[in-house]
Structure 1
Amino acid sequence: MSDEVPESRIYVGNAGVDGAGDAGWLLGHFKPPGDPRHSEDVEIKWGVHPPGDRRAAWAVGETRTALLVLISGRFVVEFRGRDVLLAEQGDYVVWGKGVDHSWRAEAASTVLTVRWPSVPGYKLG
């Protein structure tokens, strides 16, 4: 009996390269079944944003919880009545279901977003 893991159960990639093909999303329900990156439990996004980049529209009626971590840059997550500035590498914000939000990049920024669960039907970044 072999303890070797089949190649089909391992995926090795680059977040910048792989994310470019799916609006930054690396893992979630939208990846093909059988792909190690397919998940109905969680979604992960590698977001690279030029200065001044903004979310196209507010996310409203959110049914997921989210974590956004600043890798580099200056990034603002906007909530109704409150803005959160992420300015130091590792700064993060978590918000829950029902929290409307948007975002903007004050400087060239890279962020990692984790959302759960992975819900079909959401396409806007």
Structure 2
Amino acid sequence: MSDIHVGRAAADAALDHGWLLGHFKPPGDPRHSTGVEIKWGVHPKGDARAQWVHGEERTALQVLISGRFRLEFPDRTVILAEQGDYAVWGRGVDHSWYAEEDTVVLTVRWPSVPGYKVPVPVPETDPPRTL
């Protein structure tokens, strides 16, 4: 496989829940990394994290590209409102987020650690009907 990958963040991110680089890319792909993860996050207004992150083992940097994004921490709320606004938080910092407007953020986390995927809710099915 080539040591060069060229793409477009918005298109490539849509293929893997926003993630462009990290342990979850196949070994041999230049986007595979156990040292760092990079996400191009596109969030429509009102989008919110499904659940808080507890017991975080990574450090994170989040940079606002466009929109307005609220980061929630146990003892503080941070608003990213102007292009280039950013926040960095370390290991052990619980957090969540909310898109106050249509938003694009770039997130960098390190190291790239398996096992942090938020479970995707399973749609409820209609209960069996008695005829």
The TM-score normalised by the length of structure 2 is 0.89
Larger radius of gyration: 2
Corresponding residue SS for 2:2? helix
Question: Aligned equivalents of 1:81 and 1:121: distance in 2?
Answer: 26
Gap runs ≥5 in structure 2? 120-131
Residues 1:61 and 2:55 are matched in the alignment: yes
**Aligned mates of 2:59, 2:15 — CA distance in 1:** 24
Aligned to 1:40: 34
Task: Give the match's secondary structure for 1:57.
Answer: coil
For 1:40 and 1:58, locate their aligned partners in 2 and report how far apart those are by CA, in whole Å.
Answer: 23
CA distance in 1, matches of 2:118, 2:68: 21
CA deviation string 1:102-122 (max 9, x = no partner): 000000000000000000111
Q: TM-score, normalised by structure 1?
A: 0.93
Q: CA deviation at 1:124?
A: 2.2
1:5-33 Cα deviation digits (max 9, x unpaired): xx700000011111101110000000000
Residue of structure 1 in register with 2:65 after alignment: 71
Aligned structure 1 segments of 4 or more residues deviating by more than 4 angstroms = none
Instruction: Give me the CA root mean square deviation.
Output: 1.1
Q: Which residue of 1 aligns with 2:126?
A: none
Q: What is the CA–CA distance in structure 2 between the aligned matches of 1:122 and 1:30, rounded to whole Å?
A: 11
Of all paired residues, the percent bearing the same amino acid is: 72
2:78 corresponds to: 84
